[in-house]
Chains A and B, each alone.
Chain A
């Protein structure tokens, strides 16, 4: 493998990581509050508000229903407003975030709903406010599961970021299409696939490790 190809791969990996981590971060920032809100206002929540919960759920699912490649194109005007341009790695973070927020919101919602209702009852009985229940029960008790869900989100973002390459976002997907596919450069293609495998398995392993370290509800954890 020539030095040039290595440099290309390295730069593309950096771009992919930038897109994935930035949009992943925004996904948590936007998705987690949404998930908490959905859980609290949902049918078995602490402050049931179906008139707010249902439209919000619908909006979230509507965004999730749009295939990413189409969302990418649909959002071009919006991306221009936010990022100033619709081309490049930074610009791609906008549609990636828009897709990742509702995705993570639904995943996190499941984690939050799995928290034992007895624990919520216990903290209510102690005189905890709703905010305290979120802070002391919902978030800490679901943290290992939230991290697993975040890992899934990141891996999905790796895939989605490859599609963003199609509109000039750079990254590994872009490299594979332009060099590997259009120029028949098998070395680049295989190199990209290898990097992607390492990236995804690495992210997954890291996520699993973190989730396991924070999980205290299983008595015989590796002891």
Chain B
């Protein structure tokens, strides 16, 4: 089943084209990595996918609704079905770990008792039960990202977007966060779209990888095929990137 269909979207800022005629689809349960150099348009693409940014042209169909053309009021509601994990965690310093995780549920208007139950589940899932009452400032980077993941999962999203989720973490912590994301993708069957500039992340997490270069997708396929330095793609524009980063 197709969960997300991006159809020929383009976006430019002040005459500078950031995304050019991008099309791809994501199946439910899939884990798709978008890789590219900084400035390739990854962040803009991700912001389009969670409807914080509208493409100038094209359509983005999520659960049958077009994110590119939906009025703002409906977009607000739709965003609650898309979880986002951020590079710099973006946890509220004024809220405890538990209260941070509860925030999307408060926004969705869930009653308090139910909220507490759900937060307890999520704390267990990410292994942070004993830190529930702490403030984020007291946690390590990896723990903060676990809170970020728990928060993104709180409202039971249909799609999880990860924006360089491990780029601010050390290699060991990165592995544990990738394991957690893998587990979430497999056991919960949650669809994952993540952007990264690290080949390793794509290898460990992606069923499929899209290579973004200068605002266009230059390669699309399983990581094992795309990330081989001497594959059929050597004739493609993206090969330079793949070769230089493998």
Contact = CB atoms under 8 A, between A and B. Distances in A.
A59 to B, nearest CB: 30
Given A118-B86, A219-B137, A126 B52 contact: no
A137 interface: yes
A216 B107 contact: no
B68 interface: no
Interface string A114-145: 00101101111111110010001100110100
Contacts of A219: 137-138
8 contacts: A124-B79, A126-B80, A126-B107, A128-B107, A129-B76, A141-B93, A214-B94, A216-B137
A217 interface: yes
Contacts, number: 68
Nearest to A124: B52
B17 interface: no
B79 A127 contact: yes
A70 interface: no
Contact of B94 (A128, A140, A218): A140
A126 B90 contact: no
A119 B92 contact: yes
Given A136-B106, A216-B94, A219-B137, A126 B155 contact: yes
Nearest to A117: B90
B203 interface: no
Nearest to B100: A122
B103 interface: yes
Interface string A92-124: 000000000000000000000000101101111
- Most chain B Cβ neighbours within 10 Å, of A116, A121, A125, A128: A125
B243 interface: no
Given A121-B90, A122-B90, A127 B138 contact: no
Interface string A130-173: 00100011001101000000000000000000000000000000
B164 to A, nearest CB: 12
A127 B78 contact: yes
B234 to A, nearest CB: 38
A70 to B, nearest CB: 40
A122 B80 CA distance: 11
B92 A127 contact: no
B20 interface: no
A125 B84 contact: yes
Given A118-B86, A118-B88, A126-B80, 15 more contacts: A119-B91, A119-B92, A121-B86, A124-B79, A126-B79, A126-B104, A127-B76, A127-B78, A128-B76, A136-B92, A136-B103, A141-B92, A214-B94, A216-B136, A216-B137
Contacts of A214: 94
Interface in B169-191: none
B166 interface: no
Given A122-B84, A127-B79, A128-B107, A217 B93 contact: yes
B92 A218 contact: no
Contacts of B103: 123, 126, 136
B224 interface: no
B50 A217 contact: no
A219 B137 CA distance: 5
Nearest to A125: B84
Interface string B141-166: 00000000001000100000000000
A127 B52 contact: no
Contacts of B136: 216
